[in-house]
Structure 1
């Protein structure tokens, strides 16, 4: 078994290919058993945080192979280590959620749906209330950008808010942000603004451990301003411009996805303010920097649907249609 794993590893490295899941673990297992190495929960939790940090800084889909390999590793540990089952379930929920996000970003809806189901079940089995809220809110967020049924998205946000019991955690602001975005998209300004006030109250009550976390499991001021930018751009008004500028100033260099999305939101605001040519060019430039994620595709679709009739034949508008239909 170890010899086969070693040959697989050598062949993969020589060809510049992905290391087969489980091969490296099988090679190292003998040493770990010899030193009676226990499961290092802190090490696994650190790996989850690392993935969460990288997911917005690496090309979409680039973490799928590594996440899959680690989920296989956690699955093997769950079979033999009942003493730390709760911790391992919590880790597997985090890894599965991140894998589901990656599947969604490359357009693999079936993979995302199946993996979100696993993430939810693992979170529930762990008994970690905050994690149960986060998984459902994050799933709702991804479903929103993927353009799934508003009823399904609303059910997930309602479930997340109910499970939270009103106690602020990293998942709760996501649930309110999705609810506000849904209302803004359907033109329900009153509900959207009310929900944004609720989001603001939740944000103010978040513990420092959540607001200081720059990775996907946290919720800091940059995320809050990002969602303000999106909702208030849809609703219109001067607050949108302030929110976009505020969010852009808060994201550190290397945060690729959120910044590209903000630039599309900025383009959306320009077009709403009748700066159509500038807004189209701005959006097109943002889309050409990175692959077209579900969020950028959805926002671009909104731009194209709301373009003035006379602007729909512009070259930039035609190019945006081609990009979003690919």
Structure 2
């Protein structure tokens, strides 16, 4: 737990500039918290822990962590330097004892305490979510006593993935986070007891759910955590026998990387690796990878190359492909077309693509398509009109649906305005006020 706690502090410091708007060095954090830089380094590495809740509160305040560290601290105090893997092993042993001896046998001592503290950490505080209000730990204990907690078939897991995919695309991200993390924990438990024949399919499910978690965390602006989940998704996909899943994970990561601080070159590299892995087989993953490449080229000003990849995208989408696989939506092709033409195409082509995309997309992409129009307006010289439209799009969204991906696209509108012209734009004030709106997390 100490290593997890330290890694969380490090992530909060690394992401400080993205969240607050200015960098935070270890030296600055040292001044704000009263810790020496060397002690802060030891805490971030999990070698030491703060000595009191008051010191944790000072770190939480300095990092603008909104209570994350303070909430986790009681569990960290109890578990100290015990590795989470050891806790999981203890939990599994306790569960087996529970099953073998029956529900009348009570757990005692450290095993009982660690079992329940592990559930507290994994089901509640590590997710930063009020799962206890829904009775999730009690439900899982009941499933264990009924010996049904590992009873999901692959078809069941496919339905779970489809459910989460729909939820991510249609519900506020903060609302989806709790259930998704619970099912990620459940599939991990299934993997721990799987036969070799089952493991390959469960790796595929793990990749799918991890990919959705990366999607969700990108929407929430937790870019460091999202990057690690994408890595897990790739590892799980590569451990599965499903080449299409391997391609889809990489193509999806490339698409979502467009909305993070990643360099354009890294997105292009990831996209091209996915295309190389796909070969000649046309799948949603391949099409997603080409989408990412075309968008990255358009943003970086490579107009002709972006249009060439857009033509390739339309050619692939016109060929035989299982459009239902992984929730593939043909609107994704038109979304990319809207993006590319907003940066480097004609007004007529951009308008047609926006109209065709908006009718089949979720709330986030619908908002972003309208922001594509704002980008195109500004690129055509209508800077004030573009800022006005962007401010309107943001202002009309319910706060719980305002994601960091939408804000990322909205900021691109201002990027199209020459610096020397910005001060004279009447819409600039409303635009900046809209972008400063708090984003639920």
- TM score, norm. by length of structure 1: 0.86
State the distance in 2 between where 1:21 and 1:136 align.
32
Tell me the residue number matched to 1:144.
Answer: 258
Counterparts in 2 of 1:174 and 1:37: CA distance versus 1, 3 Å: closer
Give distance in 2, aligned partners of 1:247 and 1:152: 27
Does the 8 Å CA contact 2:386/2:413 hold for their aligned counterparts?
no
Counterparts of residues 259-274 of structure 1 (less than 5 Å)? 259-274=366-381
- Which of residues 419, 425, 432 in structure 2 aligns to 1:314? 425
In the TM superposition, what whole-angstrom CA distance separates every residue of 1:32-90 from its partner, at most 9, and x where no partner exists?
45xx9743211111010111111111112322221111111111111111141111111
**Is contact 2:374–2:386 with CA below 8 Å preserved after alignment?**
yes
Q: CA deviation at 1:235?
A: 0.3
Cross-structure match for 2:199: 85
Which stretch has the larger CA shift, 160-169 or 59-68? 59-68
Figure out how many residues of one structure are paired with residues of the other and give that number: 309
Other structure's SS at 2:281 match:
coil
Which structure 2 residues correspond to residues 164-183 of structure 1 after superposition, within 5 A?
164-183=278-297
The alignment status of 1:64 with 2:174, answered yes or no, reads no
User: CA shift at 1:292, angstroms?
Assistant: 4.4
2:331 paired with 1:222:
yes
For 1:21 and 1:90, the matched residues in 2 are separated by 25
Contact kept in structure 2, 1:104 and 1:112, CA below 8 Å? yes
Unaligned runs of 5+ in 2: 1-97, 107-111
SS state at 2:258 partner = helix
C-alpha distance in 1 between matches for 2:170 and 2:142: 30
Deviation at 1:202, TM superposition (A): 1.2
- Deviation of the 1:196 alpha carbon: 0.6
Structure 2 counterparts to residues 1-326 of structure 1, below 5 A:
17-19=130-132, 22-33=137-148, 38-82=151-195, 83-207=197-321, 209-210=322-323, 212=324, 217-237=326-346, 238-251=348-361, 255-288=362-395, 289-290=397-398, 291-307=401-417, 309-324=420-435
Task: From the superposition, tell whether residues 22 and 166 of structure 1 become closer, same or farther in structure 2 (CA, over 3 Å).
Answer: farther
SS at match of 2:173: coil
The CA distance in 1 between the partners of 2:167 and 2:386, in whole Å, is 30
**Structure 2: distance between partners of 1:310 and 1:113:** 36
**More displaced, 123-132 or 280-289?**
280-289
Verify the 8 A CA contact 1:21 1:72 in the aligned structure 2. no
1:293-317 CA-partner distances (Å, limit 9, x unpaired): 3432332222112225445443432
Q: Which residue is equivalent to 2:83?
A: none
CA RMSD, 1 decimal: 2.6
Match of 1:62, SS state, is helix
Q: Is this contact kept in 1: 2:407–2:435, CA < 8 A?
A: yes
Return the index of the structure with the highest Cα Rg. Answer: 2
Is 2:237–2:249's contact at 8 Å kept on the other side of the alignment?
yes
Deviation at 1:324, TM superposition (A): 4.0
Return closer, same or farther for 1:219/1:206 CA change in 2, 3 Å cut-off.
farther
TM-score by length of 2: 0.64
Residue 23 (structure 1) shift: 4.0
SS at match of 2:385: helix
Higher RCO by CA contacts (8 Å cutoff, separation 6 or greater): 1
Structure 1 residue runs of 5 or longer lacking an equivalent are none
Contact 1:137/1:171 (8 A) holds in 2: yes
